[in-house]
Amino acid sequence: MMARKDLKRLSKFLSFLLRHGAAEFGLELDEQGFASFDKVWALVEERYNGRYVLDDLKPVLEGKLDGKKRLVLEGDRIRAVYGHNRKTTQIQYEPAEPPVILYHGTNRRVLDNIRESGLLPMERQYVHLSVHLERALSVASRQTNKPVMLKIRAQDAKNAGVLFFQPDENHFLCESIPPEFIDFP
């Protein structure tokens, strides 16, 4: 019997499926990005030939693999919490009160663009911001060996009309951050 301990693989597949790959797998998402849990799990079983059992899903849903809760299960529906591309429906969240400071890691070669236009979601629906500097560094390190850390004056941005959303306790989302609210290194 094959070991079922590679939960990171399960998390990545579910995230891909619910963020970008639904059409590729014939999976229908509703207007808020939810899919039938039964259909999603059937795709997991088909792809991994019974390698995973439902108990494997709990640490994935709770974000225990890397501290980032990527999925939410509501009743018989499941969706990605954030990271949806612009081709999917705009996921709606309730506005939230941000802390005074948030963080965003980026690549040095895009700093001039950010200085001019601010932080934009690019191919995503939202700009992703971290509550903790370490988490922003970890996320940015996936894209570049030498990430540049930006400090976002979130409370000032909110007071100027920027709406923030909080999909989980460690992250905030917004549609954009104007450059005047970004402290550059």
Which tokens belong to 2?
């094959």
DSSP characters over 92-107:
---B----SEEEEEE-
Q: How confident is the model at residue 5 (pLDDT cuts 50, 70, 90)?
A: low
| Structural domains counted in the chain | 2
Which CATH number goes with the domain that contains 64? Answer: 1.10.10.970
Q: Which of the two residues, 176 and 23, has the higher pLDDT score?
A: 176
For residue 47, is it within any domain?
yes
Most confident of 35-39, 47-51, 92-96: 35-39
d(CA 81, CA 172): 11
User: Do 73 and 139 have their domain in common?
Assistant: no
Judge if pTM exceeds 0.75.
no
For residue 160, is it within any domain?
yes
User: Do 63 and 116 have their domain in common?
Assistant: no
Domain boundary among 80, 114, 132: 80
Which CATH number goes with the domain that contains 148? Answer: 3.20.170.30
For residue 91, is it within any domain?
no
- Among 136, 74, 59, 79, which residue's Cα sits nearest to residue 104? 136
Print the domain residue range for 113. Answer: 101-183
